[in-house]
Amino acid sequence: MEMPIFNEKVAQHLKTFARECINDPSLLHDPKLSFIKELIEHYGGKVPEAKTNDSSSAKTEFKSKPEEPEPESESESEESDLELDMTGVIEPDQDAPQKMGNLTLQPTEDEIAESQEKRSEAVSAFVEKDYEKAIQLYTEAIVLNPQAALLYAKRGQVFLLLNKPNACIRDCNRAIELNPDSAAAHKFRGRAYHLLGKFEEAVNDLRLACKLDFDEQADEWLRETTPNARKIEEHKRKKERKAQEKLERERQERLRKAREAAKAREENTRTSQTDAGSTPPGDFYQFLKDPDVLQAFEDPEVAEAFKDISTNPTNVLKYQNNPKIMALINKMASKFSGAGGMPGAAGMNFPGGMPGFPGAGAGHFNPPKSSPQDDVGLD
């Protein structure tokens, strides 16, 4: 006998579960499924013993889904499009910051003179390519005269030759702080930026250095750096353009949704208005369900009279002395007096186009007095 609870959907789930148990019998050892295990053993079946390693691996294999490769983000895709010439770029130096002079101290004449002597010795060591000694002598000169911007720029040059671009940048920053128009400081700092792969910063410094005091070496470094800098600038413009296009698409999408929502509201309003205009006046049709009214309209005389009145409301005067007709008219007047008179007076019409009657009020219909002209032709 087919059980009613086993509909097609349930049967499909049971088939799927049965296949899973065949592939992985360890599922039947789950305490939540003990009733199924008991059912199998009750009919003489045997559930295989659970194997910790095999079952866990099988279970994992059954439940796991193949990993889908993550979509490449737009930024990563854009970065991959940027190919730069990294020739000459080196790893940044991580040395502790070099000793700087105290800018609050004002050197004496003797200290300035001694500083110049140290500088001369540093230049000699630099010419002999004894760069470590040159750095030491420049440092002593800086301590004696910390206000001399050129001393920092020259020590930065030595750091540059030792492939210590960060140390060079620190010295050139101090030199530019003391003298913003130091061409040497901008020149060496620009080269240091290039060694670190900061091509935009390098181009800016080298251009300014050539502008302040043209130097062939600075110009050569500038031409070497410019191609990468232009690629980066173009890449940034492209990225900014895409961002603007994305914002414009989002704005257009919001406008489209707003227009659709406005159109939907307009259609709903139009439908509501149409439905409201086609709704029959409830009070009047409820009145027609009144048993007394239905019974009155079954009288051929009453029906004929109302048909006559529907063609011309003034014909009501013919029936002002007819108790049956006037009783029904007064009943209708009393029913609709709260709405400002008969249905026609309140903007409503009888079925078949019968108009309402004017002058109904206080629950009683008072026909207008007839004039001599109205009596003409009446019996």
pLDDT of residue 34 exceeding 90, the answer is no
Percentage above 70 pLDDT, the chain: 72
Q: Are 22 and 45 in contact (CB under 8 A)?
A: no
Query: What is the distance, to the nearest Å, from the Cα of residue 337 to the centroid of all Cα atoms in its chain?
Result: 59
Nearest by Cα to 339 from 350, 328, 347, 331: 347
pLDDT of residue 354 exceeding 70, the answer is no
Look at residue 89 and give its three-state secondary structure: coil
Distance CA 23, CA 62 (A): 9
Q: What pTM value is reported for the model?
A: 0.50
Q: Spell out the domains of the chain, with CATH numbers in brackets.
A: 11-43 (no CATH), 109-226 (1.25.40.10), 288-335 (no CATH)
pLDDT of residue 78 exceeding 60, the answer is no
Q: Hey, how many other C-beta atoms are within 10 angstroms of the C-beta on 53? A: 7
Query: What does the pLDDT average to over 326-349?
Result: 58
Distance CA 371, CA 368 (A): 9
Q: Are 92 and 166 in contact (CB under 8 A)?
A: yes
- Of the given ranges (43-47, 96-100, 116-120), which has the lowest mean pLDDT? 43-47
pLDDT of residue 64 exceeding 60, the answer is no
Distance CA 3, CA 6 (A): 6
SS3 readout for 178-237: HCCCCHHHHHHHHHHHHHCCCHHHHHHHHHHHHHHCCCHHHHHHHHHHHHHHHHHHHHHH
pLDDT of residue 321 exceeding 60, the answer is yes
Tokens representing residue 71 in the block: 């979509």
Query: What does the pLDDT average to over 139-153?
Result: 96
* Torsion sign over Cα 336, 339, 340, 345: negative
Tell me the sheet residues that pair with 234.
Answer: none
| Contact partners, residue 156, CB within 8 Å, separation at least 6 | 167, 168, 169, 170, 171, 172, 175, 185, 188, 189, 192
- Of the given ranges (100-104, 251-255, 275-279), which has the lowest mean pLDDT? 275-279
Nearest by Cα to 168 from 97, 120, 218: 97
Angle between helices 183-195 and 149-161 (to 10 degrees): 30
Q: Hey, how many other C-beta atoms are within 10 angstroms of the C-beta on 174? A: 23
Among all chains, which residue has been given the structure tokens 């005067």? Answer: 317
Name the burial class of residue 52, with classes exposed (0-12), middle (13-18) and buried (19+) by CB atoms within 10 angstroms of its CB. exposed
